[in-house]
Structure 1
Amino acid sequence: MKTITKTSLAALAGASIALAAGAATAQTAGIATAQADAAIFSAKAFDAANQQISTTYKTQLDQAAAAQTALNTQLRTLLDTNKDGQVSQAEAAAAEAQNSAIGNQVRAAQQKAQPNIESLQGPAIKAQAYALEQITAKYDPALRAVVAAKKITVVLAPNAIQYAPPATDVTRDIIAELDRSTPTVSITPPANWQPQQQTVELLQQYRQLVYANAARRQQAGAPAPAAGTPAPAAGAAPRATPQGR
């Protein structure tokens, strides 16, 4: 889909979990802006797909989470060489040194545990990628529908311009059109289906966003989301806020 462009991951990671109510519907002199990734991540169909994945693959995801927790505990024990219950920067740096015995043990533990974790997460991640790819395919028609309805001449990505008034952003209108045209998607890919490279990159961006949101919640002392979609995409999909709002 040629209309997808990458926006600032830092800006997305700083977005709030839910879209604020209300939306500006104007555009300026036939020129509008839109965040393709924010629109796709915020589609109701993706949220619903993530919730369905959380239920369908709950057993495997719970097992993967338990295995990851066990691995993390093992790694902390290895890295905490002075046994004070903390892993200092010095201890972490020492493990990264060339020919470090601790570092070799850490890598061995990861190499032993990671294949099982990835195997348990694999079906859920593939289902998530399939849902995301279906929604991505609907972005261009949704964009064109908004362009036609609002008589827009040019649509730019926010990171392609230095300034635009908030009324220029039509991301919310595209989300509304996606929700209208594609309320749900399947989470069951056909046999031998493999995601496109663009889907892989977009899913990685989404998972990084979820990580950033979870880190902010933890720093703020907020409760962690319930276990759900494949780690790090745990819980329901975040509703990414378009820039400039």
Structure 2
Amino acid sequence: MKIATFNINGIKARLPRLLEWLEETRPSVACLQEIKTQDEGFPAADFEKIGYHAIWHGQKSFNGVAILADGTMPIEVQRGLPGERDDDHARYLEAEVFGTRVACIYLPNGNPQPGPKFDYKLRWMERLRARMKAIAAQEVPAIVLGDFNVIPHDCDVWSPTAMADDALMQPESRDSYARLLGDGWTDALATCNPGGGVWTYWDYQAGAWQRDHGFRIDHGLLSPELADRLEACGVDKEHRGREKASDHAPVWFSFRV
């Protein structure tokens, strides 16, 4: 079983690239972020033509998450995180699929910092932690994956100095991420690549892709019940270099059934 995450950066603009990736790599489950479309605009029929069924949580022009499954319909468990009544951002979607709890997230960026956007990011991470604790208490195979907008360590960025003032690398962001791992979740990509140096995002600006100036912000966190079944993981880096690509590359995790 292969579960993947892909910040597609606009599902309508990238649909040909997304369908291409799905057909070439055929993940069992694909979690998407930044679909940037309202619910009624989600192209479910295009995925059904190639055998994928989907659930989604959309929002006009911003955010938005979706879960696709090969040959079966994901069973929705929860959309959105409790704890902040006025938060209407489409950033969280959780489902049961292939006997696994899958939570797809698009964590707030937090820039500029300091400021209200950074404060929102940290509050959102605490709300996520509460939900992950609830999932862990059920002792089910589970994965929380997506764009976390956190660079966990200096080895996860091409230049720590260049990103030092960014919200993605602030001590508070890193501490919040570390607390998730401290609760018993496993950072799968870091486990497979303990030396770091693996990027999942390259900015469109300043020739970042051509110079390989990237960093790792797309993660998959595993419950103990699923971490024991991890076989391999990786980044489909080549897809970042294709025409009209997203600024993220897909990340995948393979498990024993």
TM range (shorter): under 0.3
Relative CO higher for 1 or 2, CA cutoff 8 Å, sep ≥ 6?
Answer: 1
TM-score by length of 2: 0.25
> Rg bigger for which structure?
1
TM-score by length of 1: 0.26
Which protein has the bigger helix share?
1
Which protein has the bigger strand share?
2
